Amino acid sequence: MIKILLKYNNNLIESVSVSGHAMYDDYGKDIVCASVSSIVITTVNSIVRLEPDSISYDNSKGISISILNHNNITDVLIDNMVSLLEDLEKQYKKNIIINKEVCSC
């Protein structure tokens, strides 16, 4: 199962972490994993290109994204990513779970 953790502070997403495997199909054929990866990687690449100092990320174990500087572009792209992931979660409940946590980051 793909596990997504969203950490919020003052109604703003402060971090996103994505780990696991959907187990929808064999490795390399898994459309759920491919969809999640595409959504997250496209979002990270877009933010890095448009607002390079607004996030940091680590993709050594899944992917962890930290929002360093909230601005319109970064927040809209992150919110869009979350919306797309939530749509996938609704369609593939056995393969994706999104947890939300309020933090004092």
Domain ranges of the chain: 2-102
Is residue 84 within 8 Å of 77, Cβ to Cβ?
no
pLDDT at 105: 55
Percent of the chain with pLDDT strictly greater than 70? 98
Which residues are within 8 A (CB) of 71 and not within 5 positions of it... i.e. 6 or more apart? Answer: 51, 54
Global pTM? 0.93
User: Would the pLDDT of 44 be above 60?
Assistant: yes
Is residue 28 within 8 Å of 63, Cβ to Cβ?
no
Query: Taking residues 2-26, what's their average pLDDT?
Result: 95
Q: What is the mean pLDDT of the chain?
A: 95
The secondary structure of residue 93, as a DSSP letter, is: T
Is residue 44 within 8 Å of 63, Cβ to Cβ?
yes
Does residue 73 sit in helix, strand or coil? helix
User: Would the pLDDT of 16 be above 90?
Assistant: yes
Does residue 7 sit in helix, strand or coil? strand
Regarding the domain with residue range 2-102, which homologous superfamily does it belong to in the CATH classification? Cysteine protease Prp (3.30.70.1490)
Query: Taking residues 38-65, what's their average pLDDT?
Result: 97
